[in-house]
Structure 1
Amino acid sequence: MSNWANPFIEQRADPFILLHDGWYYFIASVPEYDRLEIRRASSLEALPQANPVVVWRKHESGPMSELIWAPELHVIEGKWYIYFAAAHTKAFDSLGMFQHRMFALECADADPLTGRWVEKGQVKTQFDTFCLDATTFNHQGRQWYLWAQKSPHIPGNSNIYLAEMDTPWSIKGEPVMLSKPEHEWECRGFLVNEGPAVITHGEKLFVSYSASATDENYCIGLLWIDMAADPTKAENWHKSPQPVFTTSYENKQYGPGHNSFTRTKDGEDVLVYHARNYTEIEGDPLYDPNRHTRLKIISWSDDGIPVFGVPPADSHRIKSYGLS
């Protein structure tokens, strides 16, 4: 059983870890929301000490000039891709929401840390509205795009949508909505479903997602579908009526969420997520930098459902960053 320090990497929210060709790649939101950086190591344990390499910086103006959020690193047909959300302003729109759209970068070189990254533009969807937290996965021989977006027709901030990809930076067909905020635990502070992540086990494909405001109310929900079922049919998806990973007041872990999944070299499934260790947040929680990256092994029930358990307590004293 692995025994990682908790927090694993400090001041990195929305963490994503990719295991590719024996190497672990880490990418996440930085507190300044101004750049994309990747670090690489031969083991999970070495990632915190790995040197972050900046591969892209925000523009001076325009649609990719503010609030660079939630990047993910993927490999599709031998090329590297980074998906991220960005806005042209920090101001809210008329609905009182940020103005993010989703964008893609491509690197055709072997090494994503030293290779040339090319901007492929906005990933456009069915609505020209606030959207973020894109991920991608291959399933049933097709590449899929999974993300969170505001619908003009549904109250709240964001729902979870799925569509087949036409290229690694475009979708085709009509997106299907997999989930919207409907339970009480998805509607605390804000009506939010965001940060989807994919993991498969046995004959099921699972999508975890985060819900509610990004303070101590933040938590993880779960969707699933049979591997052989048509993912474009909303009725084939199932949704847990309760969250699967929530704040632990006993362990002083608050707002666990925006997760991804990776694996140890021994094949154990690892939950990668962020959480704070305090609740006294001044101002907008998004501008509080101390959502630290954390890791936790997940197990599987006898009927093949992931068991997330409880966020473990900090395993060493972290720096205070000026907080008491």
Structure 2
Amino acid sequence: MKYSWCLLTALLAIAGVGKTQQENKTSAPVFRYTNPITRDTAISMRDHFIIKVDNKWYCVGTSNPVWEGLNPGVRLLVSDDLVHWQQHSFLIDATKLPADCPYNGRFWAPEIHFIQHKYWMTVNSGKVTAADPKGMQTHNVWLFTSDKVTGPYTLVNGPLTPQYNNDATLFEDEDGQTYFYCSGNGLFQAKIDLPSGKLTTPIQKFLDKKQPGWPEWMQGGIEGPFVIKKEGNYFMFFSTWTRGYEVGLLTSTSPLGPWKLVSQEPIFGTRKKGYRPELAIGGGYDYLQFQDTEDPYAETGHNALFTGPDGQLWSSCHYLMYEKRPYPYSQTLEAWEKTPQMGIEPVHYKNGRFYITGPTWTEQTIALP
């Protein structure tokens, strides 16, 4: 009798008898998130770059103050679940740099890539002087390396290019060749030897923000390249801030181009006519032509890809709330809403190209394997 009852119980459990329909639906593991992910002025950053190492996610970005004042350096955040974040350390602490340090300026858009069994960090900065208090006249790219994602990092080389450049990124191809991409009133590319930090081909500007025949929504500015390879093709995600902050997508059969647009419209982002309309006008774009996106954001800026909780590609950007957002949001911004915060979204690949969900602002649920 005992055996029969145990067998019956097991069969009922397999059939789902005794559980509600909701319980059956929620038995599979899920990942829940609501953007912006971070809501803390203490760890506010722009240009979030996330890298997963073992069972943790790490994030670097552009710390406040961004435009004026002393930038604190390269801040590293850490999370066990991609939702709850805290500060780990400063990979570069500006207060500890010597007075003659040539890269003590803005520390914009750092990235960390794991290539050839080491971590490589690109940092964009220049030297602060009395005549140049933000270090913009010497702003360029610096390459650091470490055996651990958390550092310590040592300088390999810099500046990497002979002119103003920013938003550097790295890409390793399947044959072990490595490539360097960056922005600076357009997009640039070259091959790089990481151990020496030397570019092995001349730095080439391959796309201008006002490239003849290209869409007007690029003309305000293009930046933040990020390259991956899929099914033999190379894809470059980049950002434009002509009419808000949007992400475009290029593709090529070679890591050095020629590059072409995958879509004549951005694949992701926010745009608001009332947010810095002078940028659209200055870019030659009639800001009355486009419709505002429905999200409550003024910016969904920069763009970089990382491995998410489901093992698939996700995108990270900084999300900045829009003070003129529609009901039901308050027109009065809380303290954290006045600063850029982390936003993440799934990335999908279909029919030979990538798509990015969002930007979202309500709770999202993603099934986990």
| Contact in 2 for aligned 1:179/1:193 (Cα 8 Å) | no
The TM-score normalised by the length of structure 1 is 0.77
Q: Matches of 1:264 and 1:291 in 2, distance apart?
A: 21
Q: Matches of 2:191 and 2:359 in 1, distance apart?
A: 33
Q: Determine whether 1:258 maps to 2:281.
A: no
Deviation at 1:90, TM superposition (A): 8.1
Secondary structure of 2:64 counterpart: coil
Give the corresponding residue for 1:310.
Answer: 358
5+ residue gaps in structure 2? 1-29, 66-70, 272-292, 325-336, 365-369
Q: Matches of 2:106 and 2:355 in 1, distance apart?
A: 33
Give the corresponding residue for 2:313.
Answer: 269
Query: Among 41, 45, 50, which residue is 1:17 paired with?
Result: 50
Query: Among 44, 48, 51, which residue is 2:87 paired with?
Result: 51
Q: Matches of 1:296 and 1:262 in 2, distance apart?
A: 10
Query: Among 143, 151, 156, which residue is 1:120 paired with?
Result: 156
Deviation at 1:92, TM superposition (A): 9.2
- Could you report, residue by residue, the CA deviation over 1:109-158 in whole angstroms, capped at 9, with x for unpaired residues? xx332x43212231422xx3221111111114111111113xxxxxxxx2
Q: Matches of 1:91 and 1:43 in 2, distance apart?
A: 43
| Contact in 1 for aligned 2:56/2:80 (Cα 8 Å) | yes
Please show how residues 63-142 of structure 1 align to structure 2 within 5 Å: 63-89=102-128, 99-108=138-147, 111-113=148-150, 115-125=151-161, 128-141=162-175, 142=177
| Contact in 2 for aligned 1:66/1:90 (Cα 8 Å) | no
Change (3 A) 1:20 1:112: closer
The TM-score normalised by the length of structure 2 is 0.68
Amino acid at match of 1:15: H
Amino acid at match of 1:310: G
Amino acid at match of 2:102: P
Amino acid at match of 2:266: P
Secondary structure of 2:217 counterpart: helix
| Contact in 2 for aligned 1:92/1:98 (Cα 8 Å) | no
Q: After TM superposition, what 4+ stretches of structure 1 lie above 6 angstroms from structure 2?
A: 90-93
Q: Matches of 1:4 and 1:199 in 2, distance apart?
A: 25
| Contact in 2 for aligned 1:146/1:160 (Cα 8 Å) | yes
Change (3 A) 1:91 1:315: farther
Deviation at 1:279, TM superposition (A): 5.3
The count of corresponding residues between Structure 1 and Structure 2 is 280
Q: Matches of 2:300 and 2:130 in 1, distance apart?
A: 26
Secondary structure of 1:185 counterpart: helix
Change (3 A) 1:224 1:92: farther
Q: Matches of 1:180 and 1:186 in 2, distance apart?
A: 9
Give the corresponding residue for 1:173.
Answer: 201
Give the corresponding residue for 1:187.
Answer: 219
Identity across matched positions, percent: 21
Amino acid at match of 2:208: K
Give the corresponding residue for 2:76.
Answer: 38
Secondary structure of 1:273 counterpart: strand
| Contact in 2 for aligned 1:247/1:253 (Cα 8 Å) | yes
Deviation at 1:210, TM superposition (A): 0.9
Give the corresponding residue for 2:182.
Answer: 147
| Bigger radius of gyration | 2
Change (3 A) 1:178 1:293: farther
Report the more deviating stretch, 244-253 or 78-87.
244-253
Give the corresponding residue for 2:244.
Answer: 217
Query: Which structure carries more helix by proportion?
Result: 2
Q: Matches of 1:101 and 1:270 in 2, distance apart?
A: 28
